[in-house]
Amino acid sequence: MSPKVTEEHKENRRLEIMRAAAEVFKRKGYDAVTMQDIIDETGMSRGGVYAYFGSKEELFWALLDQIDDSHAAGYAKLLDRYRNAWETIEHFLRYQEKEIGNTHRSLSPAIFEFFSSGWRDADRQPFLVGRYKRAVGDFARFLRAGVKRGDFRPLQEPEAIAQFVISFLDGLSVDVLLLGSEVCDYRAQLDSLRLYLHQVLQIAETSREDGGSQSTTGETP
Amino acid sequence: MSPKVTEEHKENRRLEIMRAAAEVFKRKGYDAVTMQDIIDETGMSRGGVYAYFGSKEELFWALLDQIDDSHAAGYAKLLDRYRNAWETIEHFLRYQEKEIGNTHRSLSPAIFEFFSSGWRDADRQPFLVGRYKRAVGDFARFLRAGVKRGDFRPLQEPEAIAQFVISFLDGLSVDVLLLGSEVCDYRAQLDSLRLYLHQVLQIAETSREDGGSQSTTGETP
Q: What is the CATH number for B10? A: 1.10.10.60
The residues, ordered by sequence, that sit 6+ positions from B55 with a Cβ below 8 Å of its Cβ are: B35
Distance from CA of B33 to the nearest CA of A (A): 15
- Position B1 scores a pLDDT of 52
Q: CA-CA distance, B218 to B221, in Å (whole number)? A: 10
Domain match, A23 and A82 both: no
**Cα dihedral sign for B178, B184, B187, B189?**
negative
Range of A188's domain?
Answer: 57-217
- Position B204 scores a pLDDT of 74
Domain match, A99 and A185 both: yes
| CATH (domain of B141) | 1.10.357.10
Tens of pLDDT, residues A134-185: 999 999 999 999 999 899 999 999 999 999 999 999 999 999 999 999 999 9
Domain boundary among B54, B70, B94: B54
Question: Position A157: which residue type?
Answer: E
Domain match, B174 and B213 both: yes
Contact status of A117 with chain B (Cβ, < 8 Å): yes
Interchain CB distance below 8 Å, B175 and A170: yes
Calculate what percentage of chain A has a pLDDT beyond 70. 90
Interchain CB distance below 8 Å, B168 and A166: no
Mean pLDDT, chain A, integer: 87
Q: Chain B residue with minimal CA distance to A124?
A: B178
Q: How far is CA B162 from CA B104, B172, B210, in A?
A: 25, 15, 24
- Position B148 scores a pLDDT of 92
Contact status of A68 with chain B (Cβ, < 8 Å): no
Contact status of A99 with chain B (Cβ, < 8 Å): no
Q: How far is CA B63 from the centre of its chain?
A: 11
CB-closest option in B113, B128, B178 to A179: B128
Q: Chain A residue with minimal CA distance to B127?
A: A179
The CB density around residue B206, as the number of other CB atoms within 10 Å, is 8
Domain match, B70 and B173 both: yes
Per-position b or e across A198-208, b if 16+ CB within 10 A of its CB? bbbbebeeebb
Contact status of A179 with chain B (Cβ, < 8 Å): yes
Contact status of B93 with chain A (Cβ, < 8 Å): no
Q: CA-CA distance, B102 to A220, in Å (whole number)? A: 49
Q: Using CB atoms and an 8 Å cut-off, which of residues 47-66 of chain A contact chain B?
A: none
Q: What is the count of residue pairs from A and B with beta carbons less than 8 Å apart?
A: 135
- Position B215 scores a pLDDT of 38
Strand, helix or coil for residue B162: helix
Please report, in tens digits, the pLDDT of each residue of chain B (221 residues total). 556 668 899 999 999 999 999 999 999 999 899 999 999 999 999 999 999 999 999 999 999 999 988 888 877 787 778 878 899 899 999 999 999 999 888 998 898 888 877 777 778 888 889 999 999 999 999 999 999 989 999 999 999 999 999 999 999 999 999 999 999 999 999 999 999 999 999 997 654 444 444 433 333 33
Interchain CB distance below 8 Å, B192 and A120: no
CB-closest option in B115, B175, B192 to A178: B115
Total domains present in chain A: 2
Q: Using CB atoms and an 8 Å cut-off, which of residues 131-170 of chain B contact chain A?
A: 132-133, 155-157, 159-161, 163-164, 166-170
Distance from CA of A48 to the nearest CA of B (A): 33
Domain match, A35 and A63 both: no
Q: CA-CA distance, B188 to B156, in Å (whole number)? A: 24
Q: CA-CA distance, A114 to A127, in Å (whole number)? A: 12
Domain match, A129 and A158 both: yes
Domain match, B66 and B157 both: yes
Domain match, B109 and B151 both: yes
Domain match, A114 and A6 both: no
Tens of pLDDT, residues A76-127: 787 778 878 899 899 999 999 999 999 888 998 898 888 877 777 778 888 8
Domain match, B137 and B104 both: yes
Q: A205 or B154: whose pLDDT is higher? A: B154
Question: Position A37: which residue type?
Answer: D
Interchain CB distance below 8 Å, B117 and A117: yes
Contact status of B96 with chain A (Cβ, < 8 Å): no
Domain match, A14 and A115 both: no
Domain match, B204 and B110 both: yes
Distance from CA of B18 to the nearest CA of A (A): 25
Contact status of A185 with chain B (Cβ, < 8 Å): yes
Interchain CB distance below 8 Å, A29 and B178: no
Residues A38 and A26 sit within 8 Å (Cβ to Cβ): no
Q: Chain B residue with minimal CA distance to A131?
A: B179
State the ipTM, two decimals. Answer: 0.85
